[in-house]
């Protein structure tokens, strides 16, 4: 890797398959020096990231980070930016991602991301998928890392009959691949992400220095609020922003719980809402419910102007 990539200018790696992937899921049937996969398999991705990290560090690299498909406790020490793998393109999968991301953060691995829209099954010109990828894009705007990826349909034709050219490629997955309506929505959220750079930089610094999750359950900041412990379909993006992703298809509104102890500003309407209550919030396709603590609104208001 050093000879063929790093020495030619590659600073970080997409390490991909770190589990490793098995042909037979009989975990007692695979043997390593330290024991069977059933005994030691979960430590494999830690050693996988460590091996690359150690090589990069020995060659003088600093601030090391690599995109990797699997992790375990301690992987964060070795620059592991983890994504959730080759997941299904469905709203059920989107709901799973929220749970996965929050658990990863609480487990001490703050650098986490997903394939926006899922990896398997998305069809570029299908209206149902366009709804899904839009909702997923809105959610991903408030994830630690925001990235597009996926094996879209229909596949392209192979480029040749030789070598790698024999392999077809997935369809386009750039934001403009899903029609003008979707593209215009995604542009707004890309601008928002860019506008939030200073805010995100602070959250990333806290994650690096103190292990503070970039995304976290409501109870992380509002542990004295008993109701906050029961909310599993919302999260905090940093210290100031509450996000309630749209997790079901054809949703026109959803209920949002606002933690007690703060007043909250609806970023789309500017309405001020007292905490400690659940309220209905409209969810047209271009809006994901987002609230900002009133005490921080003056610092963040300008960033959210791109949504209106």
Residue that has been written with the tokens 């005994």 in this structure: 39
Tell me how far apart the alpha carbons of residues 131 and 140 are, in angstroms, rounded to a whole number.
Answer: 14
pLDDT per position as a tens digit, 174-212: 999 999 999 999 999 999 999 999 999 999 999 999 999
Active site residue 19: yes
Catalytic choice (19, 88, 128, 286) = 19
**CATH 2.60.40.1180 residue window(s) in the chain:** 214-307
> HEC profile for 120-189?
EEEECCCHHHHHHHHHHHHHHCCCCCCCECCEEECCCCCCCCCHHHHCCCCECCCHHHHCHHHHHHHHHH
pLDDT of residue 167: 87
Residue ranges for the chain with pLDDT beneath 50: none
pLDDT of residue 304: 97
Kindly report the pTM of this predicted structure.
0.94
Token pair recorded at residue 156: 């392209």
- Reduced to 3 states (helix: H, G, I; strand: E, B; else coil), residue 267 is coil
Tell me how far apart the alpha carbons of residues 192 and 10 are, in angstroms, rounded to a whole number.
Answer: 29
From its phi and psi, is residue 197 left (phi > 0), alpha (psi between -120 and 50) or beta?
Answer: alpha
Residues forming beta bridges with residue 281, ordered by sequence position: 254
Catalytic choice (11, 16, 127, 226) = 16
Tell me how far apart the alpha carbons of residues 173 and 111 are, in angstroms, rounded to a whole number.
Answer: 23
Q: Which fold has domain 6-199?
A: TIM Barrel (3.20.20)
Active site residue 301: no
- Reduced to 3 states (helix: H, G, I; strand: E, B; else coil), residue 92 is helix
Catalytic choice (7, 21, 26, 86) = 86
Its CATH class, for the domain covering 214-307, is mainly beta
**CATH 3.20.20.80 residue window(s) in the chain:** 6-199
Active site residue 226: no
């Amino acid at each position: 890797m050093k000879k063929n990539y790093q020495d030619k200018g590659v600073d970080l790696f997409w390490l991909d398959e770190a589990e490793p992937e098995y042909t037979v899921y009989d975990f007692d049937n695979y043997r390593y020096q330290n024991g069977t996969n059933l005994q030691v398999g979960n430590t494999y991705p830690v050693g996988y990231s460590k091996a690359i990290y150690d090589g990069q560090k020995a060659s003088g690299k600093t601030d090391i980070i690599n995109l990797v498909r699997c992790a375990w406790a301690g992987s964060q020490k070795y620059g592991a930016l983890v994504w959730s793998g080759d997941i299904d393109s469905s709203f059920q999968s989107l709901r799973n991602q929220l749970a996965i991301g929050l658990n990863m953060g609480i487990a001490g691995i703050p650098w986490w991301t997903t394939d926006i829209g899922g990896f398997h099954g998305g069809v570029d010109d299908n209206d149902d998928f366009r709804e899904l990828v839009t909702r997923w894009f809105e959610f991903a705007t408030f994830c630690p890392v925001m990235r597009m990826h996926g094996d879209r349909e229909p596949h392209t034709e192979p480029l040749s009959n030789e070598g790698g050219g024999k392999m077809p490629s997935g369809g386009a997955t750039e934001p403009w691949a899903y029609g003008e309506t979707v593209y215009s929505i995604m542009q707004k959220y890309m601008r928002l992400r860019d506008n939030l750079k200073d805010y995100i930089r602070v959250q990333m610094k806290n994650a690096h220095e103190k292990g503070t999750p970039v995304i976290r359950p409501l109870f992380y900041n509002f542990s004295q609020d008993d109701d906050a412990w029961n909310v599993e379909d919302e999260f905090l993006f940093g210290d100031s922003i509450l996000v309630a992703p749209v997790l079901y298809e054809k949703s026109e509104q959803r209920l949002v719980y606002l933690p007690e102890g703060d007043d909250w500003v609806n970023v789309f309407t500017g309405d001020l809402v007292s905490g400690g209550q659940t309220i209905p919030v409209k969810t047209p396709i271009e809006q994901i419910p987002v609230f900002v603590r009133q005490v921080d609104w003056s610092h963040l208001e300008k960033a959210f102007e791109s949504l209106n």
